[in-house]
Amino acid sequence: MQQFQSTPERLTTVTLKEFVREHYQKLYYYTCNPEVFGRELLRLKILKDENQLDQCMNPSGTYGKNNEFYKRIIEADDCEGYINALQATENLGILKFLKEKLLPNNPINELPRPITLNPTIPLIPGIPLPPTTNPYTPSTELGKLLATKLKNVVNDLDRRNQHKGIPLKEVFQGYFTDLYVNTNIPDGLVTLLKDMKVLDDGSARKIMVTKDTEHTRCCDLIYGHLFKNRDVDLLIHMWEKTTNAHLIRWTQTWLDEKFP
């Protein structure tokens, strides 16, 4: 928090609402780890209660979770809470962007990936936006079916556990050995996970060290990050793109029995 300690003060001067309105497209597209981010907003009282969290996590229509989150963030007008939530959920790209925009005497790099902005998209939260253009979603029919089932199970576990723990990991409890044994680790897997923002450079290096010699340890690291991220779409997309599509059908064979 220390390196960003002046950022909330500057946001107070600019006003959080003005900043979000001006930079809404980047905030909307780049704020990641929505499941963890939402729970952190709840803990910090930016979201009032679990009902509000559920509304954000299951938005009506075609608009994404971040659209709902930023409506609530503006309503709460809690600059320090917003910064704390970003830090706790490893939204480092947004934090760097905030620091660059609000502390111009401390220039840093722009967000880690370029983005093409459509000037016709309104910048005001609450005004309908196009659906999120997340390229990392299931592309096969089996993958889409499993994603729907898994999301329902994860959301149900999350509510029952009062948004504590890692529900996606809990789903696979008892199946880790088979999961690891049947996971292929091709050369492009680590690059894909970095592109999906599941891994940073340090985590990627740790996985590369174990990739060819310690299969179980390597899988433990990979799935640890995927489960912590809590994004079902990323997990299934990774399987589809890394010669692991067989894990989709394998998961389906026991998921309905475990969570009827």
Q: Would 81 be classed as within a structural domain?
A: yes
242 Cβ neighbours under 8 A, 6+ residues apart: 184, 185, 186, 188, 189, 192
Name residue, tokens 């760097």.
Answer: 96
For residues 151 and 94, membership in a common domain is answered with: no
For residues 98 and 147, membership in a common domain is answered with: no
Band the pLDDT of 1: cuts 50, 70, 90.
very low
Q: Would 117 be classed as within a structural domain?
A: no
Q: Would 221 be classed as within a structural domain?
A: yes
Q: Would 61 be classed as within a structural domain?
A: yes
pLDDT (mean) for 45-57: 88
Residue type, 119: P
Q: Would 115 be classed as within a structural domain?
A: no
223: how many CB neighbours lie within 10 A of its CB? 19
Query: What was the pLDDT predicted at 108?
Result: 37
For residues 163 and 242, membership in a common domain is answered with: yes
Query: What was the pLDDT predicted at 62?
Result: 53
For residues 155 and 254, membership in a common domain is answered with: yes
Rounded to whole angstroms, how far apart are CA atoms 189 and 135?
16
Query: What was the pLDDT predicted at 220?
Result: 94
Residue 231: which domain range?
141-258
What is the tally of structural domains in the chain? 2
Mean pLDDT is lowest, of 130-139, 181-190, 202-211, for: 130-139
Which tokens sit at 93? Answer: 């790209």
Q: Would 28 be classed as within a structural domain?
A: yes
Share of the chain above pLDDT 70, in %: 80
Name residue, tokens 């149900």.
Answer: 156
**What angle is formed at CA 138 by the lines to CA 249 and CA 243, rounded to 5 degrees?**
55
For residues 146 and 254, membership in a common domain is answered with: yes
For residues 232 and 155, membership in a common domain is answered with: yes
Which tokens sit at 247? Answer: 């894990």
Q: Would 112 be classed as within a structural domain?
A: no
Whether the predicted model's global pTM rises above the 0.85 cut? no
For residues 6 and 59, membership in a common domain is answered with: yes
For residues 193 and 146, membership in a common domain is answered with: yes
Q: What is Dmax (Cα atoms) for the chain?
A: 58
For residues 164 and 243, membership in a common domain is answered with: yes
Domain endpoint, select from 102, 121, 153: 102
Distance of alpha carbon 241 from its chain centroid, rounded?
A: 19
For residues 240 and 190, membership in a common domain is answered with: yes
For residues 199 and 90, membership in a common domain is answered with: no
Domain endpoint, select from 84, 102, 120: 102
Query: Do residues 84 and 95 make contact, with C-beta atoms less than 8 angstroms apart?
Result: no
Query: What was the pLDDT predicted at 13?
Result: 52
60 Cβ neighbours under 8 A, 6+ residues apart: none
Query: Do residues 176 and 197 make contact, with C-beta atoms less than 8 angstroms apart?
Result: no
Residue 116 pLDDT > 70 = no
Domain endpoint, select from 52, 83, 102: 102
For residues 74 and 173, membership in a common domain is answered with: no
Residue type, 111: L
Query: Do residues 83 and 98 make contact, with C-beta atoms less than 8 angstroms apart?
Result: yes
- Pick from 227, 216, 213: which is nearest to 181 by CA? 216
Q: Would 127 be classed as within a structural domain?
A: no
Highest mean pLDDT, choosing among 110-114, 117-121, 145-149, 178-182: 178-182
